[in-house]
Structures are given as structure tokens and as C-alpha cells.
Amino acid sequence: MSWGAAVTGRRGRQQTYSDAAIQTCLSMKVLFGMALRQTTGFVESLLRLVGLNWTVPDFSTLSRRQKTLAVNIPYRGSKGPLHLLIPLGTLLRNALPGSGQHRDQD
């Protein structure tokens, strides 16, 4: 999974964010019932807490790209609170150069 979009070689402006990044943001939006602007702020805060200095798609980018992506969230029958687990180790291994090395191991 890559946060930034791959180069397509087509004419025109290239996409800045990958489909996976957009789907992650839209999944958060659906799971927590937030508006697009709230989602942007939430994901920005989440990335800051994890210690990643990545840019986050703005609400207009999310709005445009959500028309072409299908976000599949399985039905959750429970009315209780949602506990979302994000595997930090996997996120860091895939995000940082030197695959498998954590940032604090220098």
C-alpha cells in the first residue's frame, strides 16, 4: 500500500494520492459518520499521532474521487462502540524506506 499515487504516464496532472489513501479516508468517513471536512481533520490528526508527516487529501479531492471508488464496509449489527485497530508495525514497514526497519532503530 502506498499513500502517494503511482505515475501513470498519461497527459495532464497526475494524481497525488493513491486509491488506497482515498479509500482509507473514505472508510474512516463511513465508519465514524463524519463529513468530508471532519474526515480530513481526523485523518490528519491520526497520522500526526502515529508520527507520519504525510499530506492528507482535502475534502474536495475526497469528494471527486469518491465518485469513482467503491468503499465496501461490511454491515455491523452491533449498536455498541466501534474499536478500530490500526497495525502500526505494518503501517511503518510499508511507509518507510528500508522495509522492515522502524524509525527509532538508527
Q: What is the DSSP string of 3-55?
A: SBPPP---SSPPPSB-HHHHHHHHHHHHHHT--HHHHHHHHHHHHHHHT----
Between residues 12 and 37, which one has the greater pLDDT?
A: 37
Q: Tell me, yes or no, whether 5 lies in a domain.
A: no
Q: Which domain holds residue 88?
A: 19-71+84-95
pLDDT band at 85 (very low <50, low <70, confident <90, very high): confident
Whole-angstrom Cα distance, residue 93 to residue 99?
5
Whole-structure pTM over 0.75, yes or no?
no
Q: Tell me, yes or no, whether 29 lies in a domain.
A: yes
The reported pLDDT for the residue numbered 106 is 45
Nearest partner of 46 among 28, 73, 22, 71, judged by Cα: 28
Question: Quick check: 92 pLDDT over 80?
Answer: no
Domain count across the chain: 1
Q: Tell me, yes or no, whether 33 lies in a domain.
A: yes
Question: Quick check: 65 pLDDT over 60?
Answer: yes
The reported pLDDT for the residue numbered 50 is 84
Q: Tell me, yes or no, whether 36 lies in a domain.
A: yes
